[in-house]
Amino acid sequence: MSTKTTISVIKADIGSIAGHHRVHPDTILAASRVLAEAKRNGIIKSFYVTNAGDDLQLIMTHHRGVDDSEVHGVAWNAFKEATRVAKELGLYAAGQDLLSDAFSGNVRGMGPGVAEMEIVERPSEPIVVFMADKTEPGAFNLPLFRIFADPFNTAGLVIDPRLHNGFSFEILDVYEGKAVELNAPDEMYDILALIGTPGRYVIRRVYRRPDREIAAVVSIERLSLIAGRYVGKDDPVMIVRAQSGFPAVGEILEPFSFPHLVAGWMRGSHHGPLMPVGLRDSKVSRFDGPPRVIALGFQVKNGELIGPADLFDDPAFDETRRVAQMIADYLRRHGPFMPHRLGPEEMEYTTLPDVMKRLAQRFVQAEMGYKPIVRRSEELSGGHD
């Protein structure tokens, strides 16, 4: 029986330089020292530490399975050590994503975002790690659908017999804590009916249908739903397996050539285009954005990370970035108006409710000539059985 390899990507905003701009190199070094010690002690097999904007990213491999307490403990210690350095440097929002002081055996529900998958390595095991900044987990809904269900994006769904039977999507209702698994292409319209509401329904995992092999996994942590208030945007991470029975790397990257609108950007309260960038542009500036995504390609061999390749650091995505800038220009001209600003249901977890609370007593009954009849769909507003 082959030894299984676990790939763990765990991220947190532990403080950044010049506001929400980018991670300071000294905090990356502090986290790297913790992971290097864990490697010497045999807890993890290999690692790569980097950043996406103001988020510290820990990419690790090991043989301990998902949700391992020692591996999560290593990540927590790395974030705590990086936070200590951030506070010494006076960095902004030091320790922002660490919502608890005491580690309880697992970082899930404590603030950091987590994407993990356990696999039996193929002879060649290419993976792509996506890291987004200034957006939410649902930002990956559209790309994942196109990667694993759209034949106009992924030619392999039509011409590769290993992909032709389709993929299963595990979709999580982040408000209700319930999940449903739907199959493509059979239930494609049902999938779209849910994931088209990315603030609520998030693709958590994707499986290859014939053998249930894991194909992709996304961090689904919503910080506002954990803390009950806005403490920063979620900035999700994702792992996708590529080639030889999975979509090719080029098919995995192709959806990001369209800078689709995602929620987040300034104060987590605005829609903006998701811009694919290389690591050198892993910093946010304009209106604390626009939202962006980085893709690092690795080979995994005997539990070791080989790489990375900086996949969006390519002139092939220059036009996408130009279009994203045009979209950003257009949306910014709306100022505080929708659709640039998020809708009221999303604004519940920002600072806007404090403003509304102050104004509540000043609202008076108005004569309209009719009594409004307001109906809401239970299925879309939380009325699940």
Q: Which residues are catalytic?
A: 13, 230, 233
Q: Closest by alpha carbon to 287, among 227, 335, 322, 338?
A: 335
3-state DSSP of the chain? CCCEEEEEEEEECCCEECCCCECCHHHHHHHHHHHHHHHHCCCCCEEEEEEECCEEEEEEEECCCCCCHHHHHHHHHHHHHHHHHHHHHCCECCCCCCCCCCCCCCCCCCCCEEEEEEEECCCCCEEEEEEEECECHHHHHHHHHHHHHCCCCCCHHHHCCCCCCCEEEEEEECCCCEEEEEEECCCHHHHHHHHCCCCCEEEEEEEECCCCEEEEEECCCCHHHHHCCCCCCCCCEEEEECCCCCCCHHHHHHHHHCCCEEEECHHHCEEEECEECCHHHCCCCECCECCEEEEEEEEEECCEEEEEEECCCCHHHHHHHHHHHHHHHHHHCCCCCCCCECCHHHHCCCCHHHHHHHHHHHCCCCCCCCCCCCCCCHHHHCCCC
Cis peptide before 291 (omega within 30 of 0): no
Instruction: Indicate the pairing of strand 275-276 with strand 292-301.
Output: parallel
